């Protein structure tokens, strides 16, 4: 039976870096946030978004993602409503993806909202990636060309590190690439999973 390892962490913590490192070791990685963006281009999800948020988040039938983001990241209830539309579609897609990788000893399910969405319940183990808040803020400002205020808004809408870590089996401190690699090897050794690539 394929083990599902949930991978999460606050915004800017370096989840993608950790996910990529697992991938270089030959472990299949499912990036839920990326797949959610794809799902948000499907007719069924778009219709539900229009029903819930109105036509103001659309322009000539095209979803205005920035406008929708501004609405949901400033309102936890609206964020929950959006997650309730997108998450079931992602869950279904992941099940199909998992069938394609059922011969692997484990897969990584990477999601920023692993706990908030309830996806953690589907995982056998959970890895939480942590990094100092100031470093995270700087990373996101540079990556998304955004402001400190907007980053802090998004941080506020996520569970904090303590909450996530208390429900996680492993904590990866993103202090350097070497530290990440060592932690991943420790996790795989603990799970008795041989690296498929070196």
Numbered residues of the known binding site for ATP:
12-17
Contact at 8 Å (CB) between 124 and 5? yes
Instruction: Please count the other Cβ atoms lying within 10 Å of the Cβ belonging to residue 182.
Output: 12
Instruction: Please count the other Cβ atoms lying within 10 Å of the Cβ belonging to residue 178.
Output: 8
Residue 135: name the closest of 3, 9, 13, 2 by CA. Answer: 13
Helix, strand or coil, per DSSP, at residue 107: strand
First to last CA, the chain: 23
Which positions make up the binding site? 12-17
Residue 169: name the closest of 104, 120, 107 by CA. Answer: 120
What gap in Å lies between CA 42 and CA 36, rounded to an integer?
10
Each residue of 92-105: b (16+ CB within 10 Å) or e? ebbeeebeeeeeee
């Amino acid at each position: 039976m394929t083990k599902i390892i949930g991978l999460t962490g606050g915004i800017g913590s370096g989840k993608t870096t950790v996910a990529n490192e697992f991938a270089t070791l030959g472990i299949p990685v499912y990036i839920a946030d990326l797949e959610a963006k794809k799902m948000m281009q499907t007719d069924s999800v778009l219709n539900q978004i229009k029903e819930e948020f109105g036509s103001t988040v659309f322009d000539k039938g095209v979803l205005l993602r920035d406008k929708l983001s501004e609405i949901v990241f400033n309102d936890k209830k609206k964020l929950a409503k959006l997650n309730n539309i997108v998450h079931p579609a992602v869950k279904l897609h992941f099940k199909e993806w998992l069938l394609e990788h059922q011969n692997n000893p484990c897969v990584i399910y990477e999601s920023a909202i692993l706990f908030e969405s309830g996806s953690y319940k589907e995982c056998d183990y959970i890895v939480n990636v942590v990094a100092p808040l100031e470093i995270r803020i700087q990373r996101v400002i540079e990556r998304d060309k955004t402001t400190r205020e907007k980053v802090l808004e998004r941080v506020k809408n996520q569970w904090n590190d303590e909450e996530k870590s208390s429900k996680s089996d492993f904590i990866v401190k993103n202090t350097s690439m070497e530290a990440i690699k060592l932690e991943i090897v420790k996790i795989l050794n603990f799970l008795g999973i041989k690296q498929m690539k070196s």
